Chains A and B, each alone.
Chain A
Amino acid sequence: MSFPFRTSGLLCAVLLLMLSACGPSQQPENHSPDWDHPYPPESGGTLIDAMTGEPSGLIPMIAGESAASAVASNIFNTLLKYDKNLELEGELAQSWQVSPDQKTITFTLKPDMKWADGAPLTSADVLFTWKLVTDDNTRTPYGADYKLVIKAEAPDPLTFRVTYEQPYAPALDSWAGLQVLPEHILKGQDINTTSFARKPVGSHYYQLGEWKNGERIALVRNPNATQGQARIDRLVSRFIPDPASQFLELMADNIDTMSLSPIQYARIFPAREELNRKIALYKELGNAYTYLGFNLKHKPFDDKRVRQAINYAIDKQELIDGVLLGLGEPVASPYKPGTRWTNPDLRPYSYDPEKAKALLREAGFADHDGDGILDRDGKPLAFEILTNQNKQREMSAVLIQRRLKEIGISVNIRVLEWASFIGRFIKTGEFDAVVLGWSLSLDPDQYGIWHSSQQAPGQFNFIGYNNPRVDRLLEQGRLELDPDKRMKIYHEFAATLLEDSPIVYLFAGYGLPAIHKRVKGIDNPAPPAGIGHNSYEWYIPAPLRRNEISAQ
């Protein structure tokens, strides 16, 4: 019978296809330029990156998603910004002054600034933007900070003044987050529905060139930019939802930059010499930490001993090694490691299963029925960890599940997509524990996350944390403008939080950008503000540009 041969022949063909696809690339690189050759700075060229999602609009206060703010941050200016060392400096503002009673801030704008369409940019635009973000008709979640302003005024075109009811320490940080919109275009329009969201006019380095739905957004240099001229002519963001496809595009040289996963960074790149020849890897301090959060309104998580026991039972180093391949740091306070607000005396809970067991015994848990799971009052110590579709969080949950099983806690994992996760579990409070992340803000104020007043559905303190001492510290911290005193307050806050263990800090992963070597002018190693802080100084020397682009 000839047939079996045919099958196996076919299988062999598939196998061969696989193997040849998997073998290292034999592509001769003779014709490729020397990517490491230094060139002097020059203008021009196109930088292509990839985004997993498409912005729904380019007014960040309305759109909300990260894709929107990533694009909009190249189009709109803020009054202040953080420099490479994370100190505040002026962007639209030349200078600012805080009044002696610390309630009023006066910003002086840089002179002769223009919008991309040539209209003058003045303090009236800033005032207009403030009115928009605090307007009750504006559908934005970002209004809270600005509503604390009781009076805002623009006495002359270069002066913008805000007055608070009482001193508000995070005020300056908040003005580094509000992107200024043009009054002359938006006046009288409904900000929620305006077509401006799809054809924005800004004042920053770039303006919108082309937006092809579902495919890409292209930004072109803004000749009227308020902060001088960027060197690269065009920024193209392609929408590629699948990270595996993004990586293939990076390897094929169709995109210039993407964020790598730890595996790609630590395993694939070292094994692929030809990739290292043309692509440079960077490492920057992560902007977020991952945590295991308890629903403090559910038993047994109202018991501090149980929370601490779980904290001791989780091996954070194992998480960093297993999930991040070592490319991350343990955290013990909710701030960027190494910055001023991080309390240097705090250490994460050590991995100590014996101590965990002792704490649980103390809390009344023992294995009475001999099933291997601890119980108390006839109820087994079992709970469900919810997380969203995020590979690192999923892997963390699996590792946690294993470690907790070893001390007699039964854990079930449920992975949900974001909408169900938020809508049906977080907002309703119907969960036991979550693995999630918080991004690390530069201002230490975390009132929204930890203050007991912030527990309404849709607010950030969804774990139901209520600690009078923490409440008091958070309130003090907002009133204190002296950096040193403020630092002490937040160091104490972090210490209290760590001891109380309402969440288990798991890790803060590094950001792992890969950028094609044709892009020059990148600061390496990355400063505290990250690799992108001087992206307007990046340049692509003409000999290294793509062919298709030079045709433009």
Chain B
Amino acid sequence: MSRAMRNPLAFWGLVIIAIVLALALLAPVLAPYDPDAIDVKSILLPPSTAHWMGTDGLGRDVFSRMLFGSRISLLVGFVAVGIATLIGVILGAISGYYRGWVDVLIMRLVDVMLSIPTFFLILAVIAFLTPSIWNIMIVIGLTSWMGVTRLVRAEFLSLREREFVLASATLGARDHRLIFRHLLPNSLTPVIVSSVLGVASAVLIESGLSFLGLGVQPPQASWGNILTEGKEYIQFAWWLSFFPGMAILLTVLGYNLLGEGLRDALDPRTNGKGKK
């Protein structure tokens, strides 16, 4: 981690993420208004000292909604990635450890899932189930575990051949001990990187679903649905699309920079000094 922090990209990524997380956690303290407080007398006011980011179509304070919306957007990101990582690690570990026909089966499943456009799958499932924030998180999770599975499997395959693992195995260590003591901890690095990148994708997917009206339910605010409301008035009430757009941009950027920085720092091939 400390090596990653010497990479300025990763550092700034982390700074952005830390700020967004802090804002999300402190939303109730920081928000000047109740995010759902309607005021039909102050519809679509531009930013001012009273409303830092203006007001929306029902006169609600955009700044307060942005703060609370960050919680939803991040929640979607974390839970979806949590699900995907869990599935990916389990399947990848099974696949890489036991190999044989289990491996073949799981890898074919990965190929099948990768061959169907993910967003189509998500759309179909969300629309057939009723849209709710939990369904969204679960479905994003269930459709984005394939990368992690491949990574963990590859790590397992290569780690299995390493001396320390072979040594434990010949000493009679049991499967679960091998998996949990040796293999899993040593293959977590790429998983962390891909999870960090996964949060970024999930935040974007949520905003896309909101655009199609399949996002979180009103009056709940998320960056995606504030941005979607703003798209109707992009030439007039620019603040309604600018702030959530920038928030999504910066957050996704932050996660990507951190993820890529971590990958760079942790990957011996690409960190510049290592010559094979």
Find chain B residues with CB under 8 A from A413 CB: 217-219
Known contacts A398-B219, A402-B36, A415-B218, A244 near B57 by CB under 8 Å:
no
> Which residues, 305 to 324 on A, are CB-close (under 8 Å) to B?
318, 321-322
Selecting from A206-214, A261-269, A372-380, the interface stretch reads A261-269
A318 near B218 with CB under 8 A, answer no
Q: Closest Cβ of chain B: how far from A257's Cβ, in Å?
A: 18
Closest chain-B Cβ to A220's Cβ sits at a distance in Å of: 34
Decide if B232 touches A18 in the complex (CB within 8 Å).
no
Residues of B within 8 A of A251 (CB): 235
* B214/A263 in contact, CB under 8 A: no
- Residues of chain B with a CB closer than 8 A to A398's CB: 36, 38, 58, 218-219
Is B49 at the interface (CB under 8 A from chain A)? no
Number of interface residues of B (CB under 8 A): 33
Interface assignment of A325: CB less than 8 Å from any CB of chain B: yes
Q: In angstroms, how far is the closest chain A Cβ from the Cβ of B223? A: 16
Closest to B211 in A: A242
Bound CA span A286–B224, Å: 31
CA distance A261 to B43 in the complex (A): 14
> What's the nearest-Cβ distance from chain B to residue A347, in Å?
21
Quote the shortest CB–CB distance from B99 to chain A (angstroms). Answer: 44
- B residues in contact with A417, CB < 8 Å: 127, 213-214
Tell me if B242 counts as interface (CB < 8 A to partner A). yes
Residues of chain B with a CB closer than 8 A to A358's CB:
none
Residue A414 lies at the interface, judged by CB distance under 8 Å to chain B: yes
In angstroms, how far is the closest chain A Cβ from the Cβ of B148? 29
Looking at the assembled complex, report how far the CB atom of A492 sits from the nearest CB atom of chain B, in whole angstroms: 35
B130 touches A414 (CB 8 A): yes
Residue in contact with A416 in the complex, picked from B40, B44, B131, B238, CB distance below 8 Å: B131
**Is A551 in the interface zone, CB < 8 Å from B?**
no
Across the interface, do B218 and A263 meet the contact criterion of CB distance under 8 Å?
A: no
Contact with A along B101-140 (1 / 0, CB 8 A): 0000000000000000000000000011011100000000
Q: Is the CB of B40 within 8 A of A318?
A: yes
Q: Which of A14, A261, A322 contacts B232 (CB 8 A)?
A: A261
B236 CB-CB contact with A under 8 Å: yes
CB contacts (< 8 Å) of A267 on chain B: these are 44, 233, 236-237
Q: Is A243's CB within 8 Å of the partner chain B?
A: yes
Q: Is A100 an interface residue (CB 8 A)?
A: no
Chain A residue, CB-CB nearest to B245:
A18
The answer to whether A397 has its CB under 8 Å from any CB of chain B is: yes
The reply on B8 being an interface residue by CB < 8 A is yes
Report B53-77 residues with CB < 8 Å from chain A CB. 57-59
Chain A interface main SS type? helix
Assess the A271–B218 pair: CB atoms within 8 A.
no
- The B-contacting residues of A in range 365-424, CB under 8 angstroms, are 389, 391, 394-395, 397-399, 401-402, 413-417, 419-420, 424
Asked if A397 meets B58 with Cβ closer than 8 Å, knowing A22-B238, A322-B40, the reply is: no
A27 beta carbon closer than 8 Å to chain B? no
A residues in contact with B232, CB < 8 Å? 243-244, 247, 261, 263-264, 391
Residue numbers in A under 8 Å from B33 (CB-CB)? none
Asked if A395 and B57 sit within 8 Å, CB to CB, the answer is: yes
In the bound complex, how far is the Cα of B214 from the Cα of A419, in angstroms? Answer: 13
Nearest residue (CB) in A for B236 is A268
Question: Separation in Å of the A50 CB from the closest CB of chain B?
Answer: 15
CB neighbours (8 Å) of B41 from chain A are 321
Closest to A413 in B: B218
Chain B nearest Cβ from A13, distance in angstroms: 13
A322 with B217: CB separation less than 8 A: no
Q: A22-B235, A263-B44, A268-B233 are in contact. Are A395 and B58 (CB under 8 A)?
A: yes
Contact A263/B57 with A18-B242, A244-B234, A413-B217 known, Cβ cut-off 8 Å:
yes
A1 CB within 8 Å of chain B: yes
Residue B182 at the chain A interface, CB threshold 8 Å: no
How distant is A298 from chain B, measured CB to nearest CB, in Å? 18
Q: Would A399 and B130 count as touching, CB distance under 8 A?
A: no
**A4-B12, A263-B57 given; A415·B43 CB < 8 A:** no
B217→A414 contact, CB < 8 A = yes
Closest to A4 in B: B12
Nearest to A2 among chain B residues (CB) is B8
Chain A positions within 8 Å of B58 at CB level: 322, 395, 398-399
* Bound form: Cα–Cα A7–B12 in Å: 10
A245 nearest CB neighbor, chain B only: B231
Q: Please give me the residue from chain A that is nearest to B216 by CB atom.
A: A415
How long is the Cα–Cα vector from A287 to B214 in the complex, in angstroms?
A: 28
Say yes or no: A399 contacts B38, CB within 8 Å.
yes
Select the residue from A3, A264, A322, A420 with max chain B CB neighbours within 10 A. A322
Establish whether residues A271 and B213, one from each chain, have CB atoms under 8 Å apart when the complex forms.
no
Contacts of B38 in A (CB 8 A): 322, 398-399, 402
B37 to chain A, nearest CB (A): 8
- A322 and B131 within 8 A (CB): no
* Contacts from A to B (Cβ < 8 Å): 1, 3-4, 7, 14, 18, 21-22, 243-244, 247-248, 251, 261, 263-264, 267-268, 271, 318, 321-322, 325, 389, 391, 394-395, 397-399, 401-402, 413-417, 419-420, 424
25 pairs across A/B with beta carbons < 8 Å? A1-B8, A3-B9, A3-B12, A4-B12, A18-B242, A21-B235, A22-B234, A22-B235, A22-B242, A244-B234, A247-B232, A251-B235, A267-B237, A318-B40, A322-B43, A391-B232, A398-B38, A401-B219, A402-B36, A402-B38, A413-B219, A414-B132, A415-B131, A415-B218, A419-B127
Q: Please name 9 further chain A to chain B contacts, defined as beta carbons within 8 Å, in addition to the given A244-B234, A263-B44, A391-B232, sorted by A numbering.
A: A7-B12, A21-B235, A21-B238, A244-B232, A263-B232, A263-B233, A268-B235, A322-B59, A398-B218
